[in-house]
Amino acid sequence: MARHMVIMLAALMMAGIIAGGSGNAAAAPIPIPILHVHIDEPTTQQAIVTESDKGAVDFTGAVRVDKLPVAKVTVDLLATVDSGWVCNIAPSTMVITDTADHPFSINVTVPEAAPAADEGHLKVTASASGTGFSVSDEVVANVTVAPYFRVMLESDKPYQEIAPREGTSFKFKVQNPGNAFDSYELEIVNARALKDAGWSVELGTTSVTGVPMYGEKEVLVNVRSPQDWSWDIEISRPTAINLKVTSLGARLGDQIVTQTFLVYAYVRGYNIPLLEMISGLIVVAAVSVTISVIILRRRKKRMRALAKEVPVKEGPAEEEK
């Protein structure tokens, strides 16, 4: 009897040990997965935009899950840019069943005419959750804007009328419609031809510097019509002055960005020096004629006076009487 009791107690103890062990196994904690997200190099890229075209930048990357606790983990991906630029990530959701890298791609769209000083910070967040866990990881990248260079010229009075041998000034506005600070070089394209024709053309400055995006600076061009002698009594002819502006910022980037603008000086009027000469000749001729007439009259008077002073001789017939 006692022997049977000992056997029963031993059996109960073994059953308890087995039951306890099974309970501990069931209550063991589930391993928490670890997310890894990364963006491939280069993590800083430059968007090329213009005043009318958007710029696109593409990134690639991958997600990996370590300590996979169950058969699969669903990972959600979110991409944002702090500057507010549009971005898309694909795929935005992944069902991961292994610990390999799972690729994704991102497209960032930079709006047209974005300033070169702008910069966007891209952030990609990967997150996953399940029974007993919620994990995430994030990575960042940068998007800069490439400068583009432009130049525009305007003149408030591109056509001016001047008298012969007179001068005038043309006022130009050098405008920067590019997206970055720029400097410009100025020149008169037809300066040699104007000089050969007797014109004097002087630029107020040959360069303007530090013009901001959408900024402008004023430039003067002083011109004077030919001073040479002309036999034309009336002068009526236009002359073109061709101003050229070149972007120095574009030149540094091995680009050529220029703008030319034609203005016209219309020389119109009478050739005063010639008229003065003709008038002088007429005056001289008139004076000469007047003097000649006076001299001629004086001669006639003298001849008459001399004629009266000569005595008249009496003839023979008169003596007989």
**How far is 20 from 81, CA to CA, in rounded Å?**
54
Mean local confidence (pLDDT), 246-251: 97
Contact yes or no for 151/184 (Cβ under 8 A)? yes
Between 46 and 234, whose confidence is greater? 46
pLDDT beyond 70 at 279: no
pLDDT tens-digit readout, 55-68: 999 999 999 998 77
- Beta strand extents in 131-233 (DSSP E only): 133-145, 152-155, 159-162, 167-175, 182-188, 200-203, 207-211, 216-224
Residues of CATH 2.60.40.10 domain(s) within the chain? 152-273
Contacts of 229 (CB under 8 A, 6+ apart): 273
pLDDT tens-digit readout, 16-34: 444 444 444 444 566 788 8
Return the pLDDT at 287: 65
Contact yes or no for 21/84 (Cβ under 8 A)? no
Residues of CATH 2.60.40.3670 domain(s) within the chain? 34-145
What average pLDDT is seen over the chain?
Answer: 84
* CA angle centred on 123, ends 89 and 213, rounded to 5°: 100
* CA angle centred on 215, ends 209 and 221, rounded to 5°: 60
Q: Cite the DSSP H helix spans in the chain.
A: 2-26, 191-196, 248-252, 272-309, 316-320
pLDDT beyond 90 at 210: yes
Return the pLDDT at 133: 83
pLDDT tens-digit readout, 67-90: 776 678 899 999 999 999 999 999
CA atoms within 13 A on the CB side of 168: 18
Return the pLDDT at 309: 66
Residue 126: what are its φ and ψ, rounded to 5°?
A: -110, 135
Return the pLDDT at 259: 97
Q: Which pLDDT band, with edges at 50, 70 and 90, does 160 fall under?
A: very high
Return the pLDDT at 126: 97
Q: Which pLDDT band, with edges at 50, 70 and 90, does 231 fall under?
A: low
Mean local confidence (pLDDT), 207-235: 85
Q: Could you tell me which of 143, 139, 124 has the C-alpha nearest to residue 57?
A: 143
Return the pLDDT at 85: 97
Contact yes or no for 45/81 (Cβ under 8 A)? no
Q: Which CATH number fits domain 152-273: 1.10.3720.10, 1.10.1740.10, 3.30.2030.30, 2.60.40.10?
A: 2.60.40.10
Whether domain 34-145 has CATH 3.40.50.720: the reply is no
